[in-house]
Chain A
Amino acid sequence: MSAMLLNKQKWTEFTGILSGKKVLAPVACGDRFRYAVPAEGKAFSLDFDRPLVPPKSAVFPQTETLYRFQLGKTELAAPQPGEELILLGVRPCDARAIKLVEKLFRWDVDDPYYLRRRELTTVVGLACLEPGLNCFCPSLGGGPASTEGLDLLMVDLGDSYYLEPLTDKGRSLMDLASGLLEEAGEEGLQKKEEAVRRAEEKIRRTVDTDGVPEILPDLWEHPLWQKTAAGCLGCGTCTYLCPTCHCFDIQDEIEGFEARRCRMWDSCMFEEYTLHTSGHNPRPTRRERTRNRINHKYSYFVRKFNVIACVGCGRCVNYCPVNIDLIETLREVKEAQ
């Protein structure tokens, strides 16, 4: 199937076709958007900015039960994700991030939980025609209509959506709605390209990542980390809202004789991150912890997987309560060279 157009007047019908499946879409919570199951029978729109929590949480939940067990018994019960999921309205940066995080979960062992969820999920992207103030995705190889990690890309053309299938999953989703779609044709393609070009022009902030992975190891003891850390509160906002941060902790949670082993997001900004049983902590202060955040994204991940683990979504810049600005930090890294 080639690119098609969906008239916006048919949007409610389109969401009706999806109603038998589990759908996560951006839902307004106050003035911020979150991925959630839209209220039953209620039409939802794709008129949103950038959701607060990245959609990685759909495939890598903040808290995930790995298995349940009972004290004194040896059987384990491991839940398996089994439900198909359609992730609707995913920003191209966030889709790229899901692809990046996947590298880790495919690394030394294939992580069954993540990979199973990924397999069951259809990612439907929506191009960013109104990029945010802190968006800098082109600096990291993305773009407002980047298709990496997406099964289907939608572009808002005003009175209709342009639908471009990218994988078999995307194609089968479009097949379901084929009665509602019309050929996009050459005119549709041109309109789409024009819209994307205008969006690219709206992106203001840039980062020069050239050479950063190579410079970082030499700046290990550089005063810039102390400077960055001085204002840091040590909260997990930047890491929890980051679409590529993937550190997790594993804990047993026990209630009476029932227990479960869970995996939950962890943050290198926290004091107990990498705290050893002995009481020793290789990252004892915020200087080491802020340094770790940048190094992990822009150096360690690059060495291991040959790609920077940042997609330029700008959330960490936007939501840091004390204006620690990743773009500034990277500029300082370049200048310190």
Chain B
Amino acid sequence: MDLDKLRKTAAEVVSRDDVKYLIGWRPGSYGYRVAPGFVEEASAAETLIFSPLCTINLATYLTLTEKLPLPRGSAPDQRKVALMVKGCDSRAVLQLLVEKGIRRDQVLLIGCPCPGVVDTALLSLKYPETESPADLKWNGDHFLLRQDGQETAIPRLSVLAEKCRLCRYPNPVISDITLGEPVEAQLTAEDSAVAEVEAMELGARAAYWEEWFSRCLRCYACRNSCPLCYCRDCVLDRLNPTWVNRAVNFSENTAFHVARAFHLVGRCIECGECERVCPANIPLGRLNRKLAREVREQYGHEPGIDPDGKPFQAGFKPDDPEEFIL
């Protein structure tokens, strides 16, 4: 990706009268960290980057922005939010549009074809982070890491994020401006992580999830980072009635995770944010990808692909399979 072009485009976009601000990626405060960059002035576009470290799905911020009560007599700011999106991120935006969570005229999408991002935790385990921000580049079947003046070539597959191994949509499915050339979709790997859980005996599978869910801290990072968890009034925050108790234990934690997984059936676009942000390392991706695959195979539905499609749970066909009904 040509960074100059990216920054020039971003500067042009934020200078437009109909754009409020742009959300992109900027280098973080140290090591492999990348932070969301909120660009309001053209000059600040200089800080933007696009690299294999840009894992954050910025689509989350579209619905996360708080609307404060307006002073009397003032009109709401109707200008667009410009957003940089990878392939998976663009699917989240499209799904939001299909669900009418946002309006098309509220966003301006800058599409970034993405050859796959790294699993930052894995990367820092294999190549320890240092206090100065590092630079990582795509280079064929390698990543080029530049850190403290040293350059290291890292085999792509050794640190590639799991979701990217399985990615079928590396190019934005919707965008207003596309930067760079489309990326050729790689041969997607078998979802061995899901297969591993599926192969377990029922008892072992229950024990597997019990162990993970027991470790949940209920920090709700998975929910809050999810671009498609945007209910204004989340069932989990309700106290009257209390659907899920605040007590942190296996039973309540399971109620939380099962509720979340089911709310994402036919909606999850597999960006992997829930798993990436989980401080307890709970393999939430396995849960969501399993459900996504069931919907894909049973109903032929894939969320975040068809702009004219209906939300999965709002549709019904007389010949829908119903083998799961006991």
Contact = CB atoms under 8 A, between A and B. Distances in A.
Contacts of B223: 235
Interface stretch (B33-41, B260-268, B315-323): B33-41
Given A234-B64, A285-B66, A253 B217 contact: no
A265 B220 CA distance: 13
A133 B131 contact: yes
A286 interface: yes
Interface stretch (A3-11, A115-123, A236-244, A303-311): A236-244
A110 to B, nearest CB: 25
Interface in B118-145: 121, 125, 128-131
B29 A321 contact: no
Interface stretch (B72-80, B193-201, B245-253, B300-308): B245-253
Interface string B237-250: 10100100111110
Interface stretch (A30-38, A75-83, A181-189, A212-220): A30-38
A134 B239 CA distance: 37
B317 to A, nearest CB: 37
Most chain A CB within a 10 A radius of its CB, from B121, B215, B249? B215
Per DSSP, chain A at the interface is: loop
B19 interface: no
Given A236-B219, A284-B68, A264 B28 contact: no
A321 B225 contact: yes
20 contacts: A32-B280, A34-B215, A62-B217, A133-B30, A133-B31, A133-B129, A133-B130, A205-B30, A227-B38, A231-B35, A233-B277, A235-B221, A236-B221, A240-B219, A249-B246, A253-B245, A253-B247, A264-B246, A325-B30, A327-B29
Given A31-B125, A62-B248, A235-B220, 15 more contacts: A34-B215, A52-B279, A53-B217, A235-B224, A235-B225, A237-B221, A237-B277, A251-B239, A251-B245, A253-B245, A284-B68, A286-B66, A322-B36, A323-B35, A328-B29
Interface of A: 29-32, 34, 52-53, 62-63, 133-134, 204-205, 227, 230-231, 233-237, 240-241, 249, 251, 253, 262, 264-265, 267, 270-272, 284-286, 317, 319, 321-325, 327-328
